Amino acid sequence: MLKIGFALDGFRPEMVALEVALDRIAQVGFEYCEPALTVGQEIMQATGFSPYCSFDEDPRAARRAIESRGLKASAVATHTNLMGPFGITYGAATLRKAIRFAAEIGAPCVNTSEGATKARDPRHSDEECFQQIRWVLDAALRTAEEYGVYIGIEPHGPFSTTVGGMKRIMSLVDSPWLGINYDTGNVLISGHDPVATLKELVGWVRHVHLKDVIYSEPKPGHEHGTPMGTGIGMGNVDLKACIEVLEQGGYDGVLAAETEAKYIVESYQCMKALVEHRV
């Protein structure tokens, strides 16, 4: 049976510490959490108003905080650029740090998007971008293979939200540790059918962001995705059909709710009903 979890980024609007967020997730009934990683320590994190983990913190302390509440980490979120000058400068280094952190806390997957470089820099051709993504992934996947951790590319950008673009990314490096963190909401925001797209990509799925969105016209900067959606079951995504495709495709991993924490109870109830086929 599919498992259910909650992406800790959903607690960012509430400005609470990691431990507070983990308590809420466990109290509601979730089995898994997806921590989000940052570089260094920014002011909100230092003063206890951020649910993020830092690469510079002790990952074993984070693991104790998670496991002491009866939770497991389904993945870590480490969104970085995979292309352009920032991808070349930071992409592989960020992913390699995240892979080592994930291995220490028992998370089997590191999630990242392709980055927004292509969208904001028309000087780069598509072919140049794909070549840059290949270089970054080639370097990062060497570390992923050493630690046995997947890199999950999330549909969040001009390439990865299309079937052809995501398939191209999956073909750039021949590694069993390259997969997809499928985001149901971002695909819809980008103007594509989340169910039809998933049918084409399900064989590569290693983790899922179950995101529901109320789709109209995307806001500027959100044309290819959004950090979090509305409550699960409150939007326009056909989540029941997505789950059917996942199950038929042999996926039995975690569905991590990517929504604001204010919807955590309703989202848990809906997800529980979905995976138990009560709706």
Q: What is the pLDDT of residues 8-29, one digit of tens each?
A: 999 998 999 999 999 999 999 9
Quick one: which of 38, 8, 4 has its CA closest to 23? 8
Partnered with residue 242 across adjacent β-strands are none
Q: Which residues of the chain have pLDDT under 50?
A: none
Number of domains in the chain: 1
Contacts of 235 by beta carbon, 8 Å cutoff, 6+ apart: 185, 212, 213, 214, 215, 229
Contacts of 157 by beta carbon, 8 Å cutoff, 6+ apart: 113, 114, 115, 116, 118, 119, 224, 225
Predicted local confidence at residue 120, as pLDDT: 63
Whole-angstrom Cα distance, residue 271 to residue 278? Answer: 10
Predicted local confidence at residue 87, as pLDDT: 86
Partnered with residue 31 across adjacent β-strands are none
Q: What's the whole-model pTM score?
A: 0.95
Contacts of 272 by beta carbon, 8 Å cutoff, 6+ apart: 4, 29, 278
Predicted local confidence at residue 220, as pLDDT: 59
User: Residue 251 belongs to what domain range?
Assistant: 3-275
Predicted local confidence at residue 228, as pLDDT: 81
For 251-271, b where at least 16 C-beta lie within 10 A, e where not — what string?
bebbbbbbbbbebbeebbebb
The CATH number of residue 148's host domain is 3.20.20.150
Whole-angstrom Cα distance, residue 87 to residue 30? Answer: 34
Handedness of CA 184, 158, 229, 208 (dihedral sign): positive
Predicted local confidence at residue 216, as pLDDT: 64
Whole-angstrom Cα distance, residue 151 to residue 144? Answer: 7
Q: And the tokens for 227? A: 């950090």
Task: Please tell me the total number of residues recorded for the chain in this structure.
Answer: 279
Contacts of 78 by beta carbon, 8 Å cutoff, 6+ apart: 36, 37, 94, 95, 97, 98, 110, 111, 112
- Dihedral of the CA atoms 203, 204, 206, 211 (nearest 10)? -90
Predicted local confidence at residue 44, as pLDDT: 85
